[in-house]
Amino acid sequence: MVKIYYDQDADLNLLKDKTVAIIGYGIQGRGQSLCLRDSGVRVIVSEMEGTLNFEAAKKDGFTPVGASEAAKAADIIQILTQDHVQAKVYRESIKPNLKKGRPKGRGLASNSQSHKALCFSHGFNIRFKQIKPPKNVDVFMVAPKGPGALVRKMYEEGKGVPSLIAIYQDATGQAKGLALAYAKALKATTAGVIETTFDEETETDLFGEQAVLCGGVSELIKAGFDTLIDAGYQPEIAYFEVLHELKLITDLIQERGISGMRRGVSNTACYGDLTRGPRIITQKTRKEMQKILKEIKSGKFAREWIKENETGRKNFDALIKAGDDHLIEKVGKQLREMMPWMKK
């Protein structure tokens, strides 16, 4: 049975004398850093000098430092760089600084002596053993189920985003307490925090991205668009019907569930959904989904993605370019110019 934790289950005092290093000031890094700081937690930000994220951190009142310096000074090191660079950052800057205690009296270092802890918001590098922490550190996950901007927005409204926690390694006996305290500092415990494992979070996250949210949806949109174009319909009309109106449907699903969405559209649309949808997602499709999940669990996808990054991303870049060159992108760009609410 799923275990859900709330405010009364978490003790923010566990972070009282801790320093948290946020490695990577991207969208999630910014959201978490600001929330932690406003909850009274001492935060160090690490970001590459000369980047937009570096300047954003300075604008937000932080003094960004290198990853090595941040890791040396911190008790809890939250790694929020992209998956494909985490292992390199860990090997070069974090691992050498995972020693019990910290130096006294210099720079960012505090005077307390404590075990280090590693924190993640996605389990890819732990699950696929790209990062192998020493046995004397706590390793846990706090994963908000929403982008960093939403985490921050909800925090400022006194609310939180539902989140996941997972414990990979409990060297001190306090790993879960630290994870819950960290989640509480984001106000996630006001919404609810679900306990999972690194394996479950990673495998389901990758599957969702590949089979449904990114891979499945984008291919379905393009297939629908191509079908209408091949049948002689205008590209602009095809775009509206298979891509533009998708947000209406996904918003309804997110707010009301699938059944609620069906009651929020016309009866004609609902009947078409119920009777034609299973002809698109067939048993063959479901078997392919099972195959994709098997590739994730076996590590096949991870090995492929790691190799792609190690060999210069030629296939990745070619696939991105092919997507950019699709007619739906040209038409969409033109049509979005007609939509003032989408202009920033």
111-116 own/partner pairs: CB under 8 Å, 24+ apart? 112/17, 112/75, 114/18, 114/75, 115/75, 115/171, 115/172, 116/74, 116/75, 116/76, 116/77
Say yes or no: 53 and 93 in one domain. Answer: yes
Number of domains in the chain: 2
d(CA 2, CA 333): 44
pLDDT of residue 341: 85
Token readout for 121 is 């918001």
Chain segment 62-82, per-residue pLDDT in tens: 999 999 999 999 999 999 999
Say yes or no: 218 and 324 in one domain. Answer: yes
Residue 21's DSSP bridge partners are 44, 77
Token readout for 82 is 């992209």
Confidence category of residue 166, pLDDT binned at 50, 70, 90:
very high
Say yes or no: 192 and 220 in one domain. Answer: no
Say yes or no: 230 and 107 in one domain. Answer: no
Classify residue 292: in a domain, yes or no.
yes
Chain segment 258-274, per-residue pLDDT in tens: 999 999 999 999 999 99
122 catalytic residue (yes or no): yes
pLDDT of residue 277: 97
Share of the chain above pLDDT 70, in %: 95
pLDDT of residue 344: 65
From 176, 196, 216, the end of a domain falls on 196
Say yes or no: 137 and 185 in one domain. Answer: yes
Say yes or no: 119 and 161 in one domain. Answer: yes
From 171, 196, 221, the end of a domain falls on 196
Say yes or no: 168 and 259 in one domain. Answer: no
Confidence category of residue 111, pLDDT binned at 50, 70, 90:
very low
Chain segment 140-149, per-residue pLDDT in tens: 999 999 999 9
Say yes or no: 162 and 270 in one domain. Answer: no
pLDDT surpassing 60 at residue 13: yes
Q: Among 95-104, 181-190, 191-200, which stretch is predicted with the lowest mean pLDDT?
A: 95-104
d(CA 118, CA 98): 9
What's the domain range around 142?
A: 4-196
d(CA 141, CA 179): 7
Chain segment 43-62, per-residue pLDDT in tens: 999 999 999 999 999 999 99
CATH of the domain at 185: 3.40.50.720
The dihedral over CA atoms of 109, 111, 115, 121, expressed in degrees to the nearest 10, equals -40
Task: Give the E-state strand segments of the chain in sequence order.
Answer: 4-5, 19-23, 42-46, 76-79, 117-120, 138-144, 163-169, 193-196
Mean pLDDT of the chain: 94
Say yes or no: 110 and 250 in one domain. Answer: no
Confidence category of residue 313, pLDDT binned at 50, 70, 90:
very high
Q: Among 111-120, 233-242, 304-313, which stretch is predicted with the lowest mean pLDDT?
A: 111-120
pLDDT surpassing 60 at residue 113: no
Say yes or no: 187 and 223 in one domain. Answer: no
d(CA 201, CA 165): 9
* Structural contact between residues 182 and 76, judged by C-beta atoms closer than 8 angstroms: yes
pLDDT surpassing 50 at residue 253: yes
Q: Which of 115, 122, 244, 326 is catalytic?
A: 122
d(CA 48, CA 201): 28
Residue 231, burial from CB neighbour count under 10 angstroms (0-12, 13-18, 19+): exposed
Q: φ, ψ for residue 293 (rounded to 5)?
A: -65, -40
Say yes or no: 93 and 216 in one domain. Answer: no
pTM: 0.91
pLDDT surpassing 50 at residue 249: yes
The rounded Cα 5 to chain-centroid distance in angstroms is 20
pLDDT of residue 342: 83
d(CA 265, CA 252): 9
Token readout for 180 is 């819950």
Say yes or no: 48 and 146 in one domain. Answer: yes
pLDDT of residue 100: 55
